[in-house]
Amino acid sequence: MSLNASERCTFVKNTSDCNSEDSFINYIHVAFCLLPPNFTSLTVILCVSISVSGYCLTHGGESIGVRDSTQFEELIFCPNLSAISTSLHLTHTVAGVTFLALGNGAPDIFSAMAAISHPHTAGLAVGALFGAGIFVTTVVAGSVALVKPFALASRPFLRDLIFYMSAVYWTFVILYRGTISLGETLSYLGLYVVYVLTVIISTIIYNRQKHSLNSAVQTSSDTSDDEEIPSLNPRFIPHEYGRKTEYRPLLPYSESTSHILLCSLNPIENSKWRRKSTKWKVLKILKTPLEFLLLLCIPVVDPDKEDKNWKRPLNCLHLIIAPLVCVFAFQSGAYGDFMIQGQFPLWLLFLLLGFFLSAIVFCTTKNDHPPSYHPAFAILGFVTSALLISAAASEVVSLLHMLGVVLGLSNTVLGLTLLAWGNSIGDCFSDITLAKQGYPRMAISACFGGIIFNMVFGVGLGCLAQRFQTHAEVQIEPEGDLPWVLAASLGLSLVFSFIVVPLRNFHVGKPYGVFLLIFYVMFLTVALLTEFHIIKFKH
């Protein structure tokens, strides 16, 4: 940015760090070579517009404050995870802290992985994970306390808080050293394994105590949500949707294959369309092309539906289209032009295999009855949707990196503001709504439980990806003083909750909520003053 506008494009073309291998589009090349050099505002608008589109894909409409909108995780990602956990006969406890936690935090994890897998964008991951942690544990938790004062479940709260503080401290050590070995990375990921085992053991002990004391059914149900699924985000609880019994025919009838295909590819429900407002209809029309493409590409197995969402013609198409999507989405299309032994395209091999499997499934199944291997489609849907979320996250990270170059902002401040807010705003709305409905314990449990998974796997898997690409010791390059402000602020907020909440006998109310909101405002002020070098720290 210190060069003349006419020289910036030449610099971009001749500098290897400006080459983008992590996204489909080289946004730095677009900003400095394709767009007019004096149109900085146009570049910023482009960044924000595409970033919002990425958030809409990964988070759904609630992330921008639109209620009753189709969400990618809720309608596609989580039903498949629920089907997988059901097929594996997992308990609610194990499913809640593994598959469902992955469904809750998929965009956050993939965004962190995409950023931390390269040293020059690691600041985005640090800012996003620490920034989202501060936002969720102060703004979201404080808002829940303001909306509905309540008494916390003591053991699950302390357990989640202790493990999260451990993850934050370990991440701080990684940043301070700037490197992490393979053994340390695996040990870091093992922290979540210990957390899962602790949850399982504590649940077993709790159930035995409950049984021995012969407690009342109502009393046990009041606390079981917090004990069994601590990292559950209520926004993504798999639930039964689209089931309109009043519009079903009284007598059964056999639908044709073509009719099933057309109905299953229609993202608009006629019964819902008639009841909704004009604003909802306009937004639905704008989202319909994207929803149509998602329905066409990703199979969804929903255990909450009577037919498990078995759509024979569409599922056969999924066997052809989904593998191709995986090939072109993996590592931002790096394998799209890969040739097997330099002669046979990889995508063509997947296409032929898809046609072969599709023909077998179509000839051996019926329209009105799902086959015994139908749960296998959930695995295909999970892999495809995970790769699409990862690709969208990589694009958002690349855009924010380019925005930081144009505006002269560090990756860390972009992570703690735009990326952290985008990843957390949906959780904020859903948790507050849940508290208003009378479930503040579940809302506060989601605040402290889910972010453990996001931090450990976001950093851990990102470090593994960087090591796989560079075949060397992982390098993480903190930018300036801001990462230390982030780590210190998050640590202070957690220590405050760890001390104050037990002193108040685990009763949280308006004073606790007001303090957390004030704390976040103070943190954000100090962080921005540090970014613009108004506050400087001596080393």
Which phi-psi region, left, alpha or beta, contains residue 471 (left: φ > 0; alpha: ψ -120 to 50)? left
Residue 527 DSSP code = H
477 or 65: which leads in pLDDT: 477
Q: Are 249 and 468 in contact (CB under 8 A)?
A: no
Residue 506: inside a domain: yes
375 or 478: which leads in pLDDT: 375
111-125, 214-228, 293-307: range with lowest mean pLDDT? 214-228
Q: Are 25 and 396 in contact (CB under 8 A)?
A: no
The whole model's pTM is what?
0.70
Beta bridge mates, 507: 151
Domain of 107, in residue numbers: 72-205+291-310+369-532
Q: What is the pLDDT of residue 214?
A: 61
Question: Taking residues 286-307, what's their average pLDDT?
Answer: 86
Question: Taking residues 2-29, what's their average pLDDT?
Answer: 81
Which phi-psi region, left, alpha or beta, contains residue 29 (left: φ > 0; alpha: ψ -120 to 50)? alpha
Residue 162: inside a domain: yes
Question: Taking residues 277-293, what's their average pLDDT?
Answer: 84
Residue 424 CA to residue 442 CA, distance in Å, equals: 17
Number of domains in the chain: 1
Secondary structure of residue 508 in the 3-state scheme: strand
Token digits of residue 379: 């695995």
Q: What is the pLDDT of residue 539?
A: 56
Q: Residue 196: name the closest of 99, 282, 310 by CA.
A: 99
Residue 55 CA to residue 528 CA, distance in Å, equals: 24
Question: Taking residues 442-463, what's their average pLDDT?
Answer: 78
Residue 256 DSSP code = P
Question: Taking residues 328-332, what's their average pLDDT?
Answer: 80
Q: What is the pLDDT of residue 76?
A: 66
Q: What is the pLDDT of residue 53?
A: 61
| CATH number of the domain bearing residue 496 | 1.20.1420.30
The string of pLDDT tens digits covering residues 187-221 is 988 998 898 888 888 878 877 887 777 655 454 44
Residue 87 in this model has a pLDDT that exceeds 50: yes
Residue 258: inside a domain: no
Q: Are 385 and 76 in contact (CB under 8 A)?
A: yes
- Is residue 350 very low, low, confident or very high in pLDDT (cuts 50, 70, 90)? very high
Residue 68 in this model has a pLDDT that exceeds 60: no
Q: What is the pLDDT of residue 215?
A: 53
Residue 331 CA to residue 223 CA, distance in Å, equals: 43
Could you give the angle at which helices 420-436 and 440-470 cross, rounded to 10 degrees?
160
Residue 319 in this model has a pLDDT that exceeds 70: yes
Residue 102 CA to residue 326 CA, distance in Å, equals: 19
Residue 355: inside a domain: no
Residue 23 DSSP code = S
Owner of token pair 């995409």? 114
Q: What is the pLDDT of residue 353?
A: 94
Residue 254 DSSP code = P
Residue 223: inside a domain: no
Residue 130 CA to residue 520 CA, distance in Å, equals: 12
Percent of the chain with pLDDT over 70: 77
Token digits of residue 271: 């019964």
Handedness of CA 265, 270, 271, 277 (dihedral sign): positive
418 or 234: which leads in pLDDT: 418
Token digits of residue 525: 């002020």
Token digits of residue 174: 């990684």
Residue 361 in this model has a pLDDT that exceeds 90: yes
Residue 452: inside a domain: yes
Q: Count other Cβ atoms within 10 Å, centred on residue 265.
A: 15
**pLDDT, mean over the chain:** 78
Q: What is the pLDDT of residue 522?
A: 93
Q: What is the pLDDT of residue 123?
A: 74
Residue 360 in this model has a pLDDT that exceeds 90: yes
Residue 172: inside a domain: yes
Q: What is the pLDDT of residue 101?
A: 66
Q: Are 75 and 87 in contact (CB under 8 A)?
A: no
Most confident of 101-110, 429-438, 478-487: 478-487
Percent of the chain with pLDDT over 90: 13
Q: Residue 113: name the closest of 447, 382, 423 by CA.
A: 423
Secondary structure of residue 159 in the 3-state scheme: helix
Residue 204 CA to residue 202 CA, distance in Å, equals: 5
Q: What is the pLDDT of residue 224?
A: 44
Q: What is the pLDDT of residue 314?
A: 93
Which residues contact residue 401 at a Cβ distance below 8 angstroms, ignoring those fewer than 6 apart? 27, 28, 120, 121, 124, 411, 414
Q: What is the pLDDT of residue 202?
A: 83
- Is residue 525 very low, low, confident or very high in pLDDT (cuts 50, 70, 90)? very high
Beta bridge mates, 180: 474
User: 13-17 long-range contacts, Cβ below 8 Å, gap at least 24?
Assistant: 17/120
123 or 449: which leads in pLDDT: 123
Helices (H) and strands (E) in the chain, counts: 23, 6
- Is residue 91 very low, low, confident or very high in pLDDT (cuts 50, 70, 90)? low
Question: Taking residues 151-165, what's their average pLDDT?
Answer: 86
Residue 275 CA to residue 289 CA, distance in Å, equals: 21
Q: What is the pLDDT of residue 514?
A: 92
Residue 147 CA to residue 429 CA, distance in Å, equals: 12
Where do runs of H (alpha helix) occur along 331-375? 346-364
Task: Kindly list the distances between the CA atom of residue 416 and the CA atoms of 42, 126, 164, 243, 421, in Å, as whole numbers in the listed order.
Answer: 23, 8, 18, 40, 7
Q: What is the pLDDT of residue 34?
A: 81
Q: What is the pLDDT of residue 325?
A: 92
Question: Taking residues 256-277, what's their average pLDDT?
Answer: 84
Residue 388: inside a domain: yes
Q: What is the pLDDT of residue 156?
A: 83
Which residues contact residue 265 at a Cβ distance below 8 angstroms, ignoring those fewer than 6 apart? 292, 295, 296, 314
Q: What is the pLDDT of residue 60?
A: 47
